[in-house]
Structure 1
Amino acid sequence: MSNPTTVEKPTFSIRLLHPKYWGVWLGFGLLALVVNVLPYRVLFYLGRGLGAMARPVAKSRAAIAKRNFELAFPQLSAEEVESRVEENFKNTGMALIETGIAWFWPTWRFKRIINDHVDEIRRHRQEGKGVLLCCVHALNLEITARAFGVLGVPGFGVYRPHSNPVYEFIQYRGRAQNGNQLVYRRDLKQMIRVLRNGEMLFYLPDQDYGHNKSVFVPFFAVEEACTTTGTSLLAYTSQCAIVTGSGFRNASGQYDVIANQSIEADYPQNDHVAAATYMNKFIEEIILKAPEQWLWLHKRFKSLPDESLTNSRYQ
């Protein structure tokens, strides 16, 4: 099979220096300077401080996070929900710093903060087996994605280009490092080609992507959570290995990058409902490793079987 067609690398042109883009250049330039000059411990407190300050401004997002915790964990008290929302905002602020670290740190420095637990990927790679690496939208996802390349097992990321050309110029270079490559998120044929070629595809089946190619199955305490069927479609058409992956910051400021469990043997890929239910159980286990570091600020439970009731859980 021919090699997958990857996202075309944006080229620099003089139009990117137009004054309307100066703010983007300045913002990313400042971020690159800060993350490279300051020690990690200072960056940690800076990021979390930014998140704490953002909460009073982002009231709608705080309300979404609060409702998500109430829906997913109805056993929590009001005080426990409040504590989790506060912690999630602090980690959201830290996500900005972690993006800067992932995009702008040199490899020698980046490698120092990564703990390697990805031998299962190496095993499949030695066997020439394609791997669908199912991860979650952890707030430090940019660090996790680069880490696999730094650890010598790069993969293909599912990518959505940014509409701002300068942002896209920088974002592409940030994500396509250490051997990682990108495929367009709507290009299913290329994703299948990646897997059939024995490569690894980063895939995130944990969000509500709407009714198209989705089913409604349990996710935490929500019995009808809109869940993508893309995992089973990719697995069925490529006959790849399926590995669950995660990357969370631990108490010492290191990032535990883990991909050590293959689940394809028992994965019911011919039954979309059973497959989505099966995958959600593993997604829950991953999130519960560090629930405060997951993306609770989006409407994970907005879709309902009756489309006319979309967002009713958040009213």
Structure 2
Amino acid sequence: MAKKSTTELTLKQLLAPKYWLTWLAMSVTYIVSFLPWSTKQSLGKVLGLLLHKTAARRRHICDVNLQICYPEMSQAERKKLTRQHFISAGKGFLETFDAWYQPASKLMPRVDCDSQAVVDKALEAGKGCILISGHFAPLDLCGTLIASHLDLHPIYKRQNNPVFNWVMEHQRKKVYSKTIERSDMREVLKSLKLNKPVWYAVDQDYGRKHSVFAPFFGRQCATISHIGRIAKMTKAPVLLLDYGRTETGYTYRFTEVENYPTDDDVTNATVINQLMEQAISTKKEQYLWSHRRFKTQPVKGDPSPYNK
């Protein structure tokens, strides 16, 4: 069953003293969103370096992931990439609030995209299309930029903090005609039936129940299994959405995934993971390595690689 939206909560319910610090933080990020782009990039770097120094657990997760995915890297190389990752994540944190509070038109001169025709062609059949991507630091901002010219319906995960989630859902309603909580399969099918692009970020571990195990950087990894099933059921084409930050702005590309889906869930998951590997390879520091991508083990009961 889909989780209920927090937009139904009233402001009175969210103004309890326990939420005051969150509201203060939201106010600060709103003000910061009006600063020049270059200034916010510099502030994001400072924030990222601060997190790198203080977020020991996330730093450990990042290092473990890099050991698994790039065993050929030296310790010094991993430390350098971990630092770069936190800098990118700090920038991405501020970019999220650009996506929420600022019009996409402000950043459009900084955007590079020449593959809109790929999406237009995919929608010609009237079956909608499924966009798949990974979690990179400028996810929210690039989503807002894409939504300025494409009526896409993103899948999202409800956040634990009700104030943060309330603000997120309200602001995203201004950007997207529809957002879909990740467990709401009925709404996914409705959107595809209306010939809309549905956007999945497919590279997180959602547990054994919703996954199959397929190789990701050479290691068996819990990978969501229903993308291929949805594509097969609806005949919706699947497109890779590859996006990221450049030195001067942002870029994104759409590419059709050919010969997909197959009749085998593991083969479909393997294709998805290979596409994610390719997308990561060109911008390693922007990938969210601090997520526990390998937390679910193929053999139930085996210890997590993140255990110290």
On whether the aligned pair clears a TM of 0.5, the verdict is yes
CA distance in 2, matches of 1:134, 1:22: 36
Q: 1:310 to 1:228 in 2, by over 3 A?
A: farther
- Out of 268, 287, 290, the position equivalent to 1:297 is 290
Q: Which residue of 1 is the match for residue 251 of structure 2?
A: 256
Contact 1:195 1:238 (8 Å CA) reproduced: yes
Shift of 1:203: 0.5
Matched letter for residue 82 of structure 1: K
1:244 matches 2:236: no
Matched letter for residue 260 of structure 2: Y
Q: 1:235 to 1:127 in 2, by over 3 A?
A: closer
Matched letter for residue 212 of structure 2: V
Contact 2:212 2:269 (8 Å CA) reproduced: yes
Shift of 1:314: 4.3
CA distance in 1, matches of 2:146, 2:7: 20
CA distance in 1, matches of 2:119, 2:142: 14
**1:63-83 CA distance string (max 9 Å, x none):** 110110110011111111111
Shift of 1:313: 5.7
CA distance in 1, matches of 2:141, 2:242: 11
Shift of 1:166: 2.7
User: TM-score, structure 1 length as denominator?
Assistant: 0.90
| Percent identity for Structure 1 against Structure 2 | 25
CA distance in 2, matches of 1:198, 1:271: 26
1:95 matches 2:88: no
Q: Which residue of 2 is the match for residue 3 of structure 1?
A: none
Unaligned runs of 5+ in 2: none
**1:252-295 CA distance string (max 9 Å, x none):** 2x110211x111x4114310011111121111111112111011
Matched letter for residue 121 of structure 1: V
**1:236-261 CA distance string (max 9 Å, x none):** 22110100002200122x110211x1
Contact 1:156 1:201 (8 Å CA) reproduced: yes
User: TM-score, structure 2 length as denominator?
Assistant: 0.92
**1:89-126 CA distance string (max 9 Å, x none):** 11111121111111111232132332223331122234
CA distance in 2, matches of 1:94, 1:288: 20
- Out of 260, 275, 285, the position equivalent to 1:282 is 275
CA distance in 2, matches of 1:122, 1:268: 20
Shift of 1:164: 3.8
Shift of 1:11: 6.1
Aligned-pair Cα RMSD in Å: 2.0
Q: 1:7 to 1:29 in 2, by over 3 A?
A: same
Q: Which residue of 1 is the match for residue 18 of structure 2?
A: 20
The aligned runs of 1:31-180 (5 Å cut-off) are: 31-36=29-34, 38-117=35-114, 118-150=116-148, 152-180=149-177
Unaligned runs of 5+ in 1: 1-5
